[in-house]
Structure 1
Amino acid sequence: MIGSKKALPRRTFLRGLGTSLALPLLDAMVPALTAQAASPASPARLRRLGFVYMPMGCDIGRWTPPGPESLDELSPILRSLGPVRRHVTVITNLELKNAYPGTHATSNASFLSAARAKRTESTDYYLGTTVDQIAARQIGRETRLPSLELSMDLLATVGQCDNGYACVYQNNLSWSSPTTPLPSEAHPRIVFERLFGEGGSAADRRAALRRRASLLDAVTEEIARLQSQLGPADRQRVDEYLESVREVERRIQQAELSSKDDPLPDLDRPVGVPSSYAEHARLMFDLQVLALRGDVTRIITFQLARETSNRTYPEIGVSEPHHPLTHHGNDPDKIAKMAKINQFHVSLFAEFLGKLQATPEGDSSLLDHCLYLYGSGMGNPNLHDHTNLPILVAGGAAGNMRGGRHIRFAEPTPLANLHLTLLDKVGVHLDSFADSDGTIDALFEPLSL
């Protein structure tokens, strides 16, 4: 229920039958946050941490920016980042020593843990707590969902998947402990219900959704009550946010209706998601925008495809499976097609960053209050190596990030150094992380908001 105080608390929800709808940051909430505004971890300057995993490395020649220090000229794979380049820094020559011997399983497992996976085909797997979950233990306590784990594939494989390593290492980016992997969700409907559903079982929430045209139907009276307390600018913000929620829900419903007429479902794709990879990915990214905007969670991981994925990409003219293309044997045609997939994945991430940049929050944008790491745990997939990884960081001034730059290390540097740096910038201070030997201080400098 909405209270009658002049200043709304940041943790205000619109509640109805089976529904708990978080709100974006409003001017009406700012007075309640003023006393905390000076704190780096203040809700008035919310910081979020996200990780997007690109599988099976890339064509590093088409990835690496030509400029030694700036992103004034972007490489072919990164060209779509042009509109947001001032919020992006590419970091060259990072490595994952603990991912060797080079495998797909260890590429995925070490990306966020920087730890060595125990080689086993059974359930006695052992890795390390991932950087996202270390952050979730502290800043995740302040949100309804401590973290959100997303993927694009139906990760139902079990047993041994890669050179004696259990499938669990390829299926899960996030681990809350060395023995506890956190399953990711690829179905937009289930993610939507996690963000906005409340009460009863998942079956209860789905039944409630079937009884009404939209989740927002359950909070119509609460919306009207809230709007009567807000000024014109806040009413417009709420209207825009609710329309974004309604549009995402409409797209999910359309995908579910379309799937009923699909006689040949994709075995790697859950039933009821868009048949187009791009539309599915956009839905998953838009759900992240809603989650971050409503402060439902501040920690997100997203796997664009699993390692060894044989997905094809006919929508961009690549009919060959992704995984075999990465074992290209230096064939220029295969390398070009692999790079086209890399470019496609980056373009979807660029669209997402553009939406964050276009979403106002306080006196800046949602992108200004986020830090996202995008990259892969594999460098050259033809060699299965874990050095010179394709890595970039995107974000804004609330984390004091210096964008528009290319940081190039002369010697291979632990990816764990970047994880340690990002943790520090969201207020989680550790002396070390995995095999780190320092921080990447050049990534940030003090900025005035």
Structure 2
Amino acid sequence: MNRRLFLRGICGAALAVPFLNSLVRSARAQEAPSPRRLVIFYTNNGCLTNRWFPTIENGAGSVTAASLETVQADGKPRTLAPLAPYAAKLLFPRGLAMPLNGLNNKVDGTVHFDPHDQGMGSKLTCAPLDPAGEHWALSHSLDHEIARRFNQGTNKIPLVLSVGNAFTNVKGIVSYSASSTPFAPVTNARTVYSSLTGLFASGSETEADHRVARGESIIDLVTHDLNALKARKMSGADRRKVDDWLALLRETEQRVLPSACTAEAAAALGVTDAALTAAGYPARGGGFGGNSETVYTLGSEMMIRLIALTMMCDNNRSIVLQWPGFVTFKWDGISHTHDHHGLSHRNGSAATGGQCVSGVLEQIHEIDRWYAGRYAKLVKTIDSIEEGGGTMLDNSAVMWLPELADGNAHNTNNLPIVIAGGAGGYLKQGVAVNLAGGNLAVGNSEASCAGGGEDENNSGNTGSSGGTVPLNKLYTTLINALGAGTPEWVPVDRFGVSDAVSAGFGGSAPSFTTDGAGNVIDGPGISNPGELDAIKA
């Protein structure tokens, strides 16, 4: 064989290898199933439930732009109007309640922790709290369950973020890696950015990009040389070498992962060193630079962009963005003098009852609408990124999960929950589903302080009745939604424990089945395991 011709053919194929990334970005995107992810947007202190829910609580046509935007009969605007453009991609599972609602907050008649402890500790774990010590939850949380099962490679922990400084006690921790093991959130967006930069691939456009756009294979770049080589008289061993090289090249084309995880993609999202600094995230150390306004406006915007970039890099399929509950809103046209927690109590303090803060309901509504705008921004950002035959949102479940329903009543039944995205077609979209039956209504959030004056007594029942379907069942459904994207997935039928567990504790902790790490994996309270079939597509 002519050595020069052989080398020309083989080296021509070898020179094609650097172009494979751009080819596979196109080819692989069509062949491989897109990853499925769970993103949790977690807020504290409840909301004005009567302004939050869609105007229709169940069935076809229940979620439309009009059902989210329509001004109420009393002339007051609705909370979720910012989500109107995405109505067709929203699911409202109605009638869900947090497990252990009203339970294990008393042991032998003694109050051990307040509802906010349980609202945080039990929310993602669906497990009771330890009545002693720091009151940590007695199991791991949903975000860790998802990360362990579905994250790629060796990274088996979720990405948990907090806007602003996070508390380090039970009132500030929503994520648990194991029983009595709180998992602190990341508060500096630069830390997240630094973890992604090592994954960036070159985004430089090449000749291959143009050819790929026309549907050509990378081997087309060297086809002439390879054909000329194969036409030469050669031994069977030499011909096998050429065929083996072609097979290797084809296999490499199929194996290289597609990626939009580039510095160029980050910059297009607005994630750069300069933007991080402007958003209040220092180059060195933890915590924040700047002030609260910077952190909650530019800083939260940066967190949202980094969530999208993390998803584009497939660096984590389990993401939580939590917001602190004790913050005074003084930005974006809002100018409050009381923190969110105090306003949720209607009296401006951590106490209950008392006199109403003047105009308190409208102040709470301003906060609710601001969070709705942030959630809508998160949904919009994820929905703007093409993936497979749709968008990244179509392959994800982006859930707004509250600590409480009404912040004054501290109730955790009939929770206001919305999920954007269908998790790869597993979940219904554009609909509200009454899982509890009967008339759920929207709660009594304006039963107190409706007059707007300081002389009013905060004594009305602001909670709601009904809506007691265990939240565990939603989490089971979400776990299976992500698992359905993998051929080897065996569906699960439970997560955590439900609210029938050891009412009042009876003076001692209940008995649970645990795994080797001490995580609660079953308990006497799961009497109705399984998914929520009514929300499945």
Return the TM-score normalized by structure 2.
0.63
Structure-2 residue corresponding to 1:210:
none
Question: Closer, same or farther in 2 for the Cα pair 1:260/1:276, shift >3 Å?
Answer: closer
SS of 1:111's equivalent?
A: coil
Q: For residues 272-351 of structure 1, what are the structure 2 equivalents within 5 Å?
A: 275-303=294-322, 305-307=323-325, 309-320=326-337, 321-328=339-346, 333-351=359-377
Give the superposition deviation at 1:397: 6.2
Which residue identity is paired with 1:26?
A: R
Question: Closer, same or farther in 2 for the Cα pair 1:94/1:196, shift >3 Å?
Answer: same
Which residue identity is paired with 2:274?
A: Q
* Cα shift readout 1:101-127 (whole Å, capped 9, x = no counterpart): 3521211122211111113344x8442
Give the superposition deviation at 1:291: 0.7
SS of 1:184's equivalent?
A: coil
- Distance in 1 between the 2:131 and 2:533 partners? 34
Percent identity (aligned): 22
Of residues 437, 442, 446, the one that matches 2:534 is 442
Which residue identity is paired with 2:343?
A: L
Q: Tell whether the 8 Å contact from 1:139 to 1:298 is kept in structure 2 after alignment.
A: yes
Structure-2 residue corresponding to 1:423:
479
* Residues 1:353 and 2:379 are matched in the alignment: yes
* Cα shift readout 1:291-322 (whole Å, capped 9, x = no counterpart): 1112111111110x223x13323323242321
* Cα shift readout 1:340-373 (whole Å, capped 9, x = no counterpart): 2111111111122112222111211111111122
* Residues 1:114 and 2:136 are matched in the alignment: no
Large movers: runs of 4+ above 6 Å: 232-235, 237-240
Moved more, 124-133 or 416-425: 124-133
Give the superposition deviation at 1:175: 1.3
SS of 2:381's equivalent?
A: helix
Q: Tell whether the 8 Å contact from 2:38 to 2:318 is kept in structure 1 after alignment.
A: yes
- Distance in 1 between the 2:15 and 2:318 partners? 28
Q: For residues 186-335 of structure 1, what are the structure 2 equivalents within 5 Å?
A: 186-197=187-198, 222-224=202-204, 227-231=206-210, 242-246=263-267, 252-254=273-275, 256=277, 270-271=288-289, 275-303=294-322, 305-307=323-325, 309-320=326-337, 321-328=339-346, 333-335=359-361
SS of 2:164's equivalent?
A: coil
Q: Tell whether the 8 Å contact from 2:122 to 2:137 is kept in structure 1 after alignment.
A: no
The number of residues matched between the two structures is 379
Question: Closer, same or farther in 2 for the Cα pair 1:250/1:135, shift >3 Å?
Answer: closer
Give the superposition deviation at 1:227: 3.7
SS of 1:74's equivalent?
A: helix
Q: Which has the larger radius of gyration?
A: 2
Which residue identity is paired with 2:277?
A: E
* Residues 1:85 and 2:74 are matched in the alignment: no
* Residues 1:153 and 2:132 are matched in the alignment: no
Give the superposition deviation at 1:171: 2.6
Structure-2 residue corresponding to 1:64:
53
Question: Closer, same or farther in 2 for the Cα pair 1:291/1:233, shift >3 Å?
Answer: farther
SS of 1:134's equivalent?
A: helix
- Distance in 2 between the 1:284 and 1:367 partners? 17
Give the superposition deviation at 1:256: 2.5
Structure-1 residue corresponding to 2:425:
399
Return the TM-score normalized by structure 1.
0.75
Q: Tell whether the 8 Å contact from 1:107 to 1:378 is kept in structure 2 after alignment.
A: yes
Q: How large is the Cα RMSD of the aligned pairs?
A: 3.4
Richer in helix (by share): 1
